[in-house]
Amino acid sequence: MNSYLEAITSLGYGNLHPGGFSHSIKVLRGVPIASNGIILDIGCGTGKTASYLSKTRGAYVFGLDISQKMIEKAKARNLRAGTEAQFIVGDALSMPFRDEVADIVLIESLLIFLPAEKVLQECRRVLKAGGIIVDIEMTAGSSLPKHARQQIKRVCGLSEFLSLEEYTSLYENVGFKRIRVERSNLPGLLDSLKEMLYMDRSRTVTKDKMNPDLVKTLLQYKLLIFANRQHLEFGTFIYKKS
């Protein structure tokens, strides 16, 4: 695991994607989910969205993450919150799910870390015909300076840092049909205040002192994002398996 992902795992935060929980809720409200539907949250982290979906939508929710620690935190959250999502350790590049099992695949900040097209092919495999993929990813704006793009790739351990247009091409290459794609600015102060409405009471923070190198990585990340925030965006991608 790269050191940025290791650092955020230690913190145990529930929403490690741009737009935060308030954005997830807004987007998911507009997605039709049957009460007996199957939702897969791929790269679920500490499972906050999975837990919320299990509680509010009555669907069968499965969270998958490659990190054992994230899955332990997600299970602890699920117990504390009294929700019924299931959490499994596994790789988004080779998911432990059979073909055409899911009504909804949810991804919140995962493609950015992986060979995105391969993950999308896996998502298409596990989705039923007519199933929907919902994905929220940080994207590089067209004005992002080349050296800043390189720095972000280095600090976050990314092999690519794609633009919204590059993601939409990948979705179309893989054979998804566009429902809606939305471009947003990174959250500002007002949005951060909105996030405070959703205080994370079920979060598990690792008790061990955080490794100083991980603290340094997190600080570098925060500074880089802050310095380049006017060139950064995030995309919400909603596509259908036709």
Ligand X SMILES: C[S@@+](CC[C@H](N)C(=O)[O-])C[C@H]1O[C@@H](n2cnc3c(N)ncnc32)[C@H](O)[C@@H]1O
CA distance 224 to 186: 13
Among 62, 87, 97, 113, binds ligand X (CB under 6 A): 113
17 near ligand X, rule: CB under 6 A: yes
Q: What is the DSSP letter of 91?
A: B
Residues 149-168, mask of contacts with ligand X (x by CB under 6 A): --------------------
108 near ligand X, rule: CB under 6 A: yes
DSSP bridge pairs for 241? 176
70 near ligand X, rule: CB under 6 A: yes
* Stretch near ligand X under the rule CB under 6 A, chosen from 85-93, 120-128, 179-187, 219-227: 85-93
**How near is the Cβ of 242 to ligand X at its closest, in Å?**
25
Looking at beta carbons, which residue is closest to ligand X?
45
3-state SS record for 145-196 = CHHHHHHHHHHHCCCCCCCHHHHHHHHHHHCEEEEEEEEEECCCHHHHHHHH
Among 91, 160, 191, 200, binds ligand X (CB under 6 A): 91
Among 83, 109, 217, 228, binds ligand X (CB under 6 A): 109
CA distance 106 to 150: 28
How would DSSP label each residue in 204-226? ----SPPPHHHHHHHHHHHHHHH
CA distance 86 to 108: 17
Q: Where along the sequence are the contacts to ligand X (CB under 6 A)?
A: 5, 15-17, 43-45, 64-67, 70, 91-93, 108-110, 113-114
